[in-house]
Amino acid sequence: MLPAMPPAHPFDDDKLKEECGVFGVIGMTDAANFVALGLHALQHRGQEAGGIVSHDPEEGFNSARRFGYVRDNFTSQKLMETLPGPLAIGHVRYSTAGSKGAVIRDVQPFFGEFSMGGAAIAHNGNITNANALRKELIDRGSIFQSSSDSECIIHLMARSLQRNIPERMEDALRRVEGAFSIVAMTRTKMMGVRDPLGVRPLVLGQLGDGWVLSSETCALDIIGAQFVRDIEPGEMVVISKTGVESHYPFRPVPSRFCIFEHVYFSRPDSILGGRSVYETRRQIGVELARENPVDADLVCPVPDSGTPAAIGFSQESGIPYAMGIIRNQYMGRTFIEPTEHIRNMGVRLKLNVNRALIKGKRVILVDDSVVRGTTSRKIKDMILDAGAAEVHFRIASPPTAWPCFYGVDTPQRDKLLAATMTEDQMRDHLAVDSLKFISLDGLYRAVGEAKGRNNECPQYCDACFSGEYPVAPSDMIEKGFEMEAAQ
């Protein structure tokens, strides 16, 4: 068993973990090579492991699943030659359900043989009734190979009585609760599906005569594909040599796209729902400055996720923007930490304060979120050690007070700082001169809702801030989780 991958963010132990990323290509020679490039662009969505399944008319299905970064595994010509064919799908993983260790059987895409042929599936999201489905399927004779919730879909498809694989997938997904954006393939077709709420992203692109499905538009850019459109909430597309067919197998419900995709998860060069992620994050900084002004000398981002919001805060406030914290881009997975003293220096190995800039200054630090608060305390200490006169935190999201059950690895609620403390108590706990979060209304304005949040029917899933879950997390409720904010 290999160790899990190190965090991509310098303080990822105190960040909400991205879910997963999916990517697929049909109609291109050596499609797996394009998938590898797409997964590389989606690496921020999952650094633990990755996998690719391809199909070739002569050689059939082939797969490769590996721990670690895409660049360390799927750039080998020898490996890529084992994945021939004009059709391939791939997945990068951070485990949000199932085993938290590095277990190769949990690495997607998953593959199954059906009476009408084989199929592979890659899933981004989380099935909130997976425990109940798994128990039912095992009681009926299914044998699971992984601990992943996604494998339930394969078993539901196997038990479906529908006549072909796309129809079996529709049938299976009607039993599933929660969030899912799926890329799947048969011998001749590629499929993409979003759950009725559209919680997780999925887009369609075109590359010459071929078609592409991706979690984000930034992965289309890396292979030179043209963005066509978002897959709509509740839509299933079936792509073959005859083109793209669209189906709507689910009962329509109001969309609830994950608002944290705009705040942190997606790459800033992606487009979500027609909006630039970078521009949205910059506008979050603008709203944050309007809501929570403070007299200071410098606005500094916590790299790298706080950068666009810090730029917006600086532009709106008129306070100079500065790179007060420098990130070491070469902090790698194999760095040797031989002594306890060296291990305790880990923070400084990843980030360093620009002392000449910070000394004697009143500093505004802009970060995307506060989860446990351990990151904020370490960074505050570094800034003060460098001689800062004052430290003010401005956070580009509302207080994270509730766990996510839709494909994001979140600490238990009692480990979330905002679940147990008021804003003033958090300020005292972090020992900073001031601490302010953008309001939920301010966040909605930044993503394009001019009047802020509509409490009767919010356009986004904001459960991690509000506690209002659009789909009841059945498995967690059975374990005793109380949705008190939604009652």
Share of the chain above pLDDT 70, in %: 89
Q: 328 or 389: which carries more pLDDT confidence?
A: 389
Whole-model pTM? Answer: 0.91
When pLDDT is averaged across residues 144-148 and rounded to a whole number, the result is: 88
pLDDT of 11 = 45
Angle between helices 307-317 and 277-291 (to 10 degrees): 50
What's residue 483's pLDDT?
Answer: 80
Confidence tier at 343 by pLDDT (50, 70, 90): very low
Q: What is the amino acid identity at position 350? A: K
Sign, Cα dihedral of 92, 94, 98, 104: positive
Lowest mean pLDDT among 4-8, 17-21, 55-59, 299-303: 4-8
pLDDT digits (tens, 9 = 90+) for 150-207: 899 999 999 999 989 999 999 999 999 999 999 999 999 999 999 999 999 999 999 9
Q: What is the pLDDT of residue 430?
A: 95
Q: Give the mean pLDDT of 299-304.
A: 93
Question: Looking at this protein, which amino acid is placed at residue 176?
Answer: V
What band does 379 get if pLDDT is binned at 50, 70 and 90? very high
By C-alpha distance, which of 447, 412, 23 is closest to 260?
447
pLDDT of residue 347: 55
Q: Please state, in angstroms and rounded to a whole number, the distance separating the CA atoms of residues 22 and 200.
A: 11
CA distances to 262, 297, 337, 396 from 294, rounded to whole Å, are 25, 10, 40, 15
Neighbours of 205 (CB within 10 A): 23
Residue 457 annotated to the active site: no
| pLDDT of 190 | 98
CB atoms within 10 A of CB 416: 22
Q: Name the more confident of 482 and 70.
A: 70
Give residue 352's pLDDT.
85
For the cut 70, the answer to whether the pLDDT of residue 87 exceeds it is yes
Question: Across the chain, what does the average pLDDT equal?
Answer: 89
Which residues, in sequence order, are bridge partners of residue 63? 53
pLDDT at 4: 40
pLDDT one-digit tens code per residue, 445-462: 999 988 788 776 788 999
Cβ burial, residue 374 (10 Å; 0-12/13-18/19+): middle
Any idea which of 164-173, 200-209, 276-285, 408-417 has the lowest mean pLDDT?
A: 408-417
Note the pLDDT of residue 13.
53
Instruction: Tell me which of 20, 152, 300, 464 is the catalytic residue.
Output: 20
Q: Tell me the β-bridge partners of 126.
A: 179
pLDDT digits (tens, 9 = 90+) for 241-251: 999 999 999 99
Backbone angles phi, psi at 120, to 5 degrees: -125, 155
* Phi, psi (rounded to 5 degrees) for 132: -65, -40
Query: Higher confidence at residue 96 or residue 231?
Result: 231
Q: What is the pLDDT of residue 334?
A: 36
Give 231's contacts (C-beta < 8 A, 6+ positions apart): 181, 192, 193, 194, 202, 203, 204, 213, 237
Q: Residue 304, preceding bond cis, omega within 30 degrees?
A: yes
* 16 pLDDT more than 80: no
Q: Is the pLDDT of residue 97 over 70?
A: no
SS (H, E, C) the chain: CCCCCCCCCCCHHHCCECCEEEEEEECCCCHHHHHHHHHHHCHHHCCCEEEEEEEECCCEEEEEEEECCHHHCCCCHHHHCCCCCCEEEEEEECCCCCCCCCCHHHCCCEEEEECCEEEEEEEEEEECCHHHHHHHHHHCCCCCCCCCCCHHHHHHHHHCCCCCHHHHHHHHHCCCCEEEEEEEECCCCEEEEECCCCCCCCEEEEECCEEEEECCCHHHHHHCCEEEEECCCCCEEEEECCEEEEECCCCCCCCCEECHHHHHHCCCCCEECCEEHHHHHHHHHHHHHHHCCCCCCEEEECCCCCHHHHHHHHHHHCCCECCCEEECCCCCCCCCCCCHHHHCCHHHHHEEECHHHHCCCEEEEEECCCCCCHHHHHHHHHHHHCCCCEEEEEECCCCCCCCCCCCCECCCHHHCHHHHCCHHHHHHHHCCCEEEECCHHHHHHHCCCCCCCCCCCCCEECHHHHCCCCCCCHHHHHCCCCCHHHC
CA distances, 351 to each of 231, 238, 364 (Å): 38, 46, 17
